[in-house]
Amino acid sequence: MSNCADPVGVFDSGVGGISTLGEMRRVLPSETFIYYGDTANAPYGTKSTAEVIRCVRGVVAELQRESIKALVIACNTATGAAAATLRAELDIPVIGMEPALKPASEIRHGGSILVMATPLTLRQEKFNHLMSLYGEGAVKVPCEGLMELVEGERWEEAREYLRQLLTRFDPKKVDAAVLGCTHYVFLKDMLRELLPGHVQIMDGNAGTARQLKRVLAQRDILREDGGGEIIFRTSGDEKTVLPLMERMLERT
């Protein structure tokens, strides 16, 4: 039986989910979070659904050893591939993510919505259902290789990648850019420089943090006092990955 003092498990294929972690820390400052980056198996976005589920089960097994009270999938690709499976297998709440297409559709005024995501996210049934509901004017923009540039802190290469990517679109006719990968949130400032001021740049991090708070309160396992803590874990090389995680957290 979970209690308030137990940690919340958070994971991603790498460091992208730290953008979500930063938002959750702001919304839930008293919680302890254990963040697991599955860097040994990154990226998820070019794998098959079956491969992602296999990787995710390995991560969850590691986090369950820490007696987590809830699990946050801080990865759009892994949510689409594995959230339903995990909810069927686990007896703790599982909070996933989805690209912020619904809120983007609400601010659209005749222009297009660029949905930037990994190739697998854009192929998934979950995302295509979202498109059927809120996808008027939405354009799928697969960004293969962009996640790896963020993982490598290759910021100038990422800027050039985005600059070339955006030449395919008339910026005057774009109303919003949806960041459908948590890694891309670290590129928000670059996108603000590259896109006109009227373009809204949207991601799912705030909604995920609010949903986690709601679920913990409903289960009566919300920790509301005490100092929170963040603990990092990785399947990769701890000597290089853990300092990288610390640096990325400072950017949130």
Work out the angle between the directed axes of helices 18-27 and 205-218 (0-180°, nearest 10).
50
User: SS3 breakdown of the chain: % helix, strand, coil, rounded to 5?
Assistant: 50, 15, 35
4 is an active site residue:
no
Contact in structure between 242 and 15 (CB atoms under 8 Å): no
To the query of whether residue 181 is one of the catalytic residues in this protein, the response is yes
Dihedral (Cα; 64, 68, 70, 71), 10-degree rounding: -50
CA 90 to CA 75: how far, in whole Å?
A: 18
Q: Is 186 exposed, middle or buried (0-12, 13-18, 19+ CB in 10 A)?
A: buried
Catalytically annotated residue among 4, 55, 75, 143: 75
By DSSP bridging, strand 174-179 and strand 200-202 are: parallel
Handedness of CA 90, 124, 77, 221 (dihedral sign): negative
**Catalytic annotation, residues:** 75, 181
